[in-house]
Amino acid sequence: METVPSPITSTTNSGGGGGGSTTPSRYENQKRRDWNTFSQYLRNHRPPLTVAMCSGAHVLEFLHYLDQFGKTKVHNPTCPFFGLPNPPAPCPCPLRQAWGSLDALIGRLRAAYEENGGRAESNPFGARAVRLYLHDVREFQAKARGVSYEKKRKRPKSSNISNATPVTTSPNATATATAT
């Protein structure tokens, strides 16, 4: 018996949100995996929880649970390497989830919550406590690494890009500049 490939796996998605049966994007696949992981966490919770009963506090518990699987060294304030971007030796400080990973995870779960029937007004992933936690994690990890997160300034939009003059440097230009 010959098998016919499924239309879901035989085509690719070029990134748009159009209809039709296409292979889910990497983002969609990751969002589905994250949602399944969170759902499993709720089922294993004691007492078991449903998504409807979930609050920002449960999301914070989930984020703390995920910390044990982190791969980012975060120095404690008592560590001699606290605040050093490149510590010279190993230390016993814990590996935790990086702020950027947590931020992206919350964004995906926030979208998945609404796609799975949740109301935007009651989305636990958008709770104030979760936003404050992410802010605190970002701030603490920046201090622990000795790196500050600066807000990116918006560059003014150029109305005519073709007027921009590309800067090129030829080997002769540097040779003549140093020779004179």
Per-residue HEC secondary structure of 8-22 comes to HHHCCCCCCCCCCCC
**pLDDT in the model for residue 13:** 44
Calculate the alpha carbon distances from 98 to 75, 102, 113 in Å. Answer: 12, 6, 22
For residue 98, give its domain range.
23-150
Q: At what angle do helices 56-67 and 128-145 cross, to 10 degrees?
A: 30
The per-residue pLDDT for range 46-72, each reduced to its tens digit, is: 998 999 899 999 999 999 999 999 998
The reported pTM is 0.69
Q: How many CB atoms lie within 10 A of CB 60?
A: 16
- Exposure string for 74-108, b = 16+ CB within 10 A, e = fewer: bbeeebebbeeeebeeeeebeebbbbeebeebbeb
Average pLDDT of every residue of the chain: 80
- pLDDT in the model for residue 86: 85
110: CB partners within 8 A, 6+ apart: 123, 125, 126
pLDDT at position 28: 95
What pLDDT score was predicted for residue 160?
54
Is 45 within the bounds of a domain?
Answer: yes
Query: Is the residue at 40 inside a domain?
Result: yes
pLDDT at 167 over 80: no
Start-to-end CA span in the chain (Å): 80
Q: Quick check: is 10 in a domain? A: no
Q: What is the pLDDT of residues 34-50, one digit of tens each?
A: 999 999 999 999 998 99
Structure tokens at 178: 């140093």
Tally of domains in the chain? 1
d(CA 15, CA 23): 10
Query: CA 173 to CA 100: how far, in whole Å?
Result: 42
Q: Which amino acid is at 96?
A: R
**pLDDT value for 15:** 47
Please say if the pLDDT value at position 101 is more than 80. Answer: yes
pLDDT at res. 159:
57
Q: What is the mean pLDDT of residues 69-85?
A: 90
Nearest partner of 54 among 131, 118, 133, 99, judged by Cα? 118
Stretch 110-139: mean pLDDT: 95
Asked, for residue 5, whether it belongs to a domain, the answer is no
Distance, in Å, from the CA atom of 120 to the CA atom of 128, rounded to the nearest integer, reads 14
Does residue 48 fall inside a structural domain?
Answer: yes
In a domain, 163, yes or no: no
Confidence of residue 3 (pLDDT cuts 50, 70, 90): very low
pLDDT of residue 44: 93
